Amino acid sequence: MSLENRGAAQGARVARLEPMQLTKHHGLGNDFLVAFADALPSDAPSLAQAVCHRTRGVGADGLIFGLPGDPGTDTDVTMVLYNADGSRAEMSGNGIRCLAQAVVLRDRCGGELRVGTDAGIRAVSVGNADDPTVIQARVDMGPVNAGPELGAIDYPPGLRFATADVGNPHLVIQVPDAREADIAGDGAELSRVAGGINVEFISPSADGNGINLRVWERGVGVTQACGTGACAAARAACDWGLVGPLVAVSMSGGDVTVELGNTAVLIGAAEYVAAVDYG
């Protein structure tokens, strides 16, 4: 964060006199703060910077606003997500599960949710759980389309790569062992030269049924998991013949399953962390 952004973030923190109710959740260590509101606050970007700051705020990879659904599209809730740097993100596979869990905890019910996002409407199915602080959710993430066209990338030659669009853009690169990739260095540089893109490094798992994945997320940096990235990586790996249509994706924060068909279905956990009065 630049000095200017840090100052703006601190200013937003001081200026907010009325407490804001937040809940904190994570999907495999990819953590989010959720706030329900009737409308998007005008200071949402600077507020996201302030509240997501790891030492001066609550700390999170992103801030999600749960806004009312749209009767015209029959959505139950609208998701608006800001990354930790204040940029707006179109979609997050882990974030949408965290929002769904926040809805379940607020309304004390599970079942099907239709969530409006900047990437379109997404259907989320939350199973009944004895402990609603830990849920399993299935998210229909929509189709995985071709991503932006890139020229040659400045990376060791001979590595296979592809781009994908899961409502947000991704660059997927097959490396010998994703667990050994320089995410902070190479991920940041590849994202920069590609104009700002999520970067996934993947390698086949030992059993041949899945992939290992490490990720650099635009607007955040290194994260422990990425749901849209898991879908993009699963699609690329399947197209390359590394896996079949049912893909176990192992990330540093844990595992998800991606079912590939006309759309990608993301299956994974969300865990409640805490309730926070911020202000």
One domain, residues 150 and 88 = no
> Positive or negative CA dihedral for 40, 230, 238, 152?
positive
Residue 191, classed as helix, strand or coil, is helix
Q: How far apart are CA 65 and CA 86, in angstroms?
A: 13
Bridge partners (DSSP) of residue 15 are none
One domain, residues 167 and 106 = no
Neighbours of 237 (CB within 10 A): 28
- Single-letter code of the amino acid located at 179: R
One domain, residues 97 and 170 = no
When divided into structural domains, the chain yields a total of 2
| Residue 3 confidence (pLDDT) above 60 | no
Please report the pLDDT score of residue 9 as a whole number.
44
113, 124 contact by CB (below 8 A): yes
One domain, residues 121 and 200 = no
Q: Mean pLDDT across the stretch 36-56?
A: 96
| Residue 151 confidence (pLDDT) above 90 | no
Please report the pLDDT score of residue 128 as a whole number.
67
Find the domain containing 55 and state its range: 3-140+268-278
Rounded to the nearest integer, the mean pLDDT of the chain is: 91
DSSP state of 47: H
* pLDDT above 90 coverage of the chain, percent: 81
87 alpha carbon, distance to own chain's centre: 13
Please report the pLDDT score of residue 11 as a whole number.
43
Kind plus residue range of the DSSP H or E element containing 6: helix 3-15
One domain, residues 155 and 231 = yes
* More confident site: 115 or 109: 115
Q: How far apart are CA 6 and CA 12, in angstroms?
A: 10
135, 127 contact by CB (below 8 A): yes
* Nearest by Cα to 165 from 182, 181, 150: 150
| Residue 116 confidence (pLDDT) above 70 | yes
| Residue 201 confidence (pLDDT) above 60 | yes
Over residues 156-184, the pLDDT tens digits come to 777 899 999 999 999 999 999 999 999 99
One domain, residues 156 and 96 = no
Please report the pLDDT score of residue 4 as a whole number.
37
Please report the pLDDT score of residue 230 as a whole number.
98
Q: Which residue has the tokens 């540093």?
A: 252
Residue 96, classed as helix, strand or coil, is helix
Q: Mean pLDDT across the stretch 252-257?
A: 97
Residue 24, classed as helix, strand or coil, is strand
Q: Mean pLDDT across the stretch 83-104?
A: 96
Residue 56, classed as helix, strand or coil, is coil
One domain, residues 84 and 183 = no
One domain, residues 200 and 245 = yes
One domain, residues 68 and 101 = yes
CATH number of 157's domain: 3.10.310.10
* More confident site: 201 or 3: 201
Please report the pLDDT score of residue 38 as a whole number.
96
217 alpha carbon, distance to own chain's centre: 8
Please report the pLDDT score of residue 6 as a whole number.
39
One domain, residues 85 and 124 = yes
Neighbours of 1 (CB within 10 A): 15
DSSP state of 69: P
| Residue 71 confidence (pLDDT) above 50 | yes
One domain, residues 14 and 136 = yes
The answer for residues whose C-beta is within 8 angstroms of residue 6's C-beta and 6 or more apart is 49, 53, 56
Please report the pLDDT score of residue 17 as a whole number.
53
| Residue 94 confidence (pLDDT) above 50 | yes
One domain, residues 61 and 88 = yes
